[in-house]
């Protein structure tokens, strides 16, 4: 007799969910007709994404002044909406190049998250967990991607963070820590030894002998961590893949397409790294904490991101890489719908209740808007998107089972994404 477990397996559902149905008294016959429908619904988000680029707007961009303008609202501000390459979708007039790429972008206007303080919001948006939850440190999304689908034999790290602060691997270990590149124009400094390679190898060998003795006498985690880090450094120094950090190898035309400045250079470096095989790259841009002088600052910041992100999407597409590369634009949270008048020039304050992020590439259907805020941009009226929803969706697009439990060093099982996530139908 065929069981519900057998039907579930044939339909693509996992054994755990099938067992739950069986324990609830659900019979095989009653589900045989529509279990395949459930499987197809879950499979909708499967894509060909093999790498992810996160463009992180540190400080929290104003959704009402970028991707969710409300020209008739009380706090409309100074910017006008313009049409885009996606029918019926309008964005800020200060993002004209991105407007031409909107057919490749899925705007997520329903973001609604719980943390309104920068450190806690950034931690949660990077890890999916609240800081201090469960009394442990959680790995960042980049480290999760490195651990789950990273290439063990890649000569350079599978997780690279360009600019600003990076969130690390926690219990996933030093192999999945991010390599931080502070200034993309300089690449990774000190990659070349001043010694001949023969002498350099002898010194590395001597260091290994000394540290092996230390680790034998003092078998502590810090010794292993140090060994992993210097081995990664030595391997990268000798690799051809390290050339991905050298932007001087790009043509003048490509460099001009991305524009000038660290963020533009970071976007170009991200493309080069993904092309080389790196699985996760985060490019940071700070300055979005616009409590004062919001409109002038957002106008300038919009100009900073507009050309490079548009160039990145177009460059990935022209190289046949966009379908296999998920691009995510996000920040800490949004800004208040109402304008404050505390400073000399008006600003907007922290606002996690309703804001916008976007996804492109990686199998995501472009030209769509998911989620809707009210006429003031203050409340999500349709399809609120939680941090759990967001993290689970990114993981699923990357081919990662977000329900998987990872054992910490003390044997504690921790889910990649906590319970309660609902996948965003971006595909």
Residue 101 makes CB contacts below 8 A (sequence gap 6+) with 85, 309, 310, 313, 314, 360
Query: Does residue 182 share a domain with residue 266?
Result: yes
> With a cut of 50, which residues of the chain have pLDDT below it?
1-2, 4-17, 21, 28-29, 31-32, 34-43
Q: Please state, in angstroms and rounded to a whole number, the distance separating the CA atoms of residues 124 and 387.
A: 7
**Is residue 427 situated within a structural domain?**
no
Q: Please state, in angstroms and rounded to a whole number, the distance separating the CA atoms of residues 421 and 230.
A: 38
Provide the sign of the torsion angle of the four alpha carbons 141, 147, 148, 152, taken in this order: positive
Q: Please state, in angstroms and rounded to a whole number, the distance separating the CA atoms of residues 44 and 10.
A: 17
Query: Does residue 231 share a domain with residue 138?
Result: no
Percent of the chain exceeding pLDDT 70 equals: 78
* The pLDDT value given to residue 8: 46
Half-sphere exposure of 318 (CA within 13 A, CB side): 9
Per-residue three-class SS string for 159-213: EEEECCCCCCCHHHCHHHCCEEECCCCCCCCCCCCCCCHHHHHHHHHHHHHHHHH
Query: Does residue 10 share a domain with residue 130?
Result: no
Query: Does residue 165 share a domain with residue 97?
Result: yes
Query: Does residue 212 share a domain with residue 73?
Result: no
Tell me the pLDDT tens digit for each residue of 188-199. 876 665 555 565
Query: Does residue 193 share a domain with residue 162?
Result: no
State residue 305 phi and psi, 5-degree precision: -95, -20
**Is residue 421 situated within a structural domain?**
no
Domain boundary, last residue among 244, 261, 291: 244
For the whole model, what pTM was predicted?
Answer: 0.85
- The torsion of the CA quartet 204, 205, 210, 212, rounded to 10 degrees, works out to 110
Q: How many residues does the chain have?
A: 427
State residue 366 phi and psi, 5-degree precision: -80, 170
Query: Does residue 234 share a domain with residue 258?
Result: no
**Is residue 29 situated within a structural domain?**
yes
As for how many domains the chain has, the answer is 3
Domain boundary, last residue among 208, 227, 244: 244
Tell me the pLDDT tens digit for each residue of 348-383. 999 999 999 999 999 999 999 999 999 999 999 999
Residue 152 CA: distances (Å) to CA of 149, 278, 375:
9, 11, 49
Query: Does residue 391 share a domain with residue 273?
Result: yes
- Degrees, nearest 5: CA angle 120-308-270: 65
CATH code for position 386: 3.40.720
Closest CA to 305 of 163, 421, 152: 163
Q: Please state, in angstroms and rounded to a whole number, the distance separating the CA atoms of residues 143 and 332.
A: 19
Query: Does residue 262 share a domain with residue 123?
Result: yes
Q: Is 384 helix (H, G, I), strand (E, B) or coil?
A: coil
Closest CA to 268 of 287, 255, 284, 249: 255
**Is residue 420 situated within a structural domain?**
no
Quote the domain boundaries for residue 217: 188-244
Query: Does residue 269 share a domain with residue 401?
Result: yes
**Is residue 36 situated within a structural domain?**
yes
């Amino acid at each position: 007799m065929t069981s519900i477990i057998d039907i579930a397996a044939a339909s693509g559902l996992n054994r755990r969910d099938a067992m739950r149905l069986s324990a609830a008294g659900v019979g095989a016959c009653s589900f045989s007709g529509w279990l395949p429908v459930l499987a197809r619904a879950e499979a909708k988000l499967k894509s060909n994404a093999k790498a992810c680029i996160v463009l992180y707007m540190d400080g929290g961009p104003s959704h009402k002044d970028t991707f969710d303008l409300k020209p008739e609202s009380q706090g409309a501000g100074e910017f006008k909406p313009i049409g885009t390459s996606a029918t019926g979708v309008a964005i800020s007039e200060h993002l004209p190049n991105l407007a031409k790429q909107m057919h490749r972008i899925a705007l997520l206007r329903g973001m609604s998250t719980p943390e309104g303080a920068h450190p806690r919001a950034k931690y949660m948006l990077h890890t999916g967990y609240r800081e201090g939850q469960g009394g442990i440190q959680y790995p960042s999304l980049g480290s999760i991607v490195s651990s789950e689908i990273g290439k063990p034999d890649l000569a350079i790290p599978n997780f690279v963070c360009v600019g600003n602060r990076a969130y690390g691997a926690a219990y996933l270990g030093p192999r999945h820590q991010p390599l931080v590149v502070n200034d993309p124009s300089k690449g990774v400094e000190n990659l070349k030894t001043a010694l001949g390679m023969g002498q350099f190898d002898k010194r590395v060998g001597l260091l290994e002998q000394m540290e092996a003795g230390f680790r034998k006498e003092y078998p502590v985690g810090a010794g292993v961590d140090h060994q992993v880090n210097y081995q990664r450094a030595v391997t990268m120094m000798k690799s051809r893949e390290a050339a991905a950090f050298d932007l001087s190898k790009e043509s003048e035309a490509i460099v001009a397409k991305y524009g000038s400045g660290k963020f533009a250079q970071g976007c170009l470096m991200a493309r080069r790294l993904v092309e080389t095989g790196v699985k996760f790259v985060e490019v940071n841009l700070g300055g979005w904490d616009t409590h004062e002088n919001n409109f002038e600052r957002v106008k300038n910041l919009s100009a900073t991101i507009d050309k490079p992100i548009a160039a990145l999407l177009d460059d990935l597409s022209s190289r046949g890489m966009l379908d296999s590369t998920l691009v995510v634009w996000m920040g800490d949270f949004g800004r208040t719908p109402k304008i404050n008048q505390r400073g000399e020039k008006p600003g907007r304050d922290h606002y996690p209740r309703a804001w916008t992020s976007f996804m492109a590439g990686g199998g995501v259907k472009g030209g769509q808007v998911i989620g809707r805020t009210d006429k003031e941009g203050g409340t999500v009226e349709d399809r609120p998107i939680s941090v759990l929803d967001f993290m689970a969706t990114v993981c699923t697009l990357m081919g990662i089972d977000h329900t998987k439990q990872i054992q910490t060093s003390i044997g504690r099982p921790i889910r990649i994404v906590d319970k309660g996530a609902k996948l965003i139908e971006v595909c």
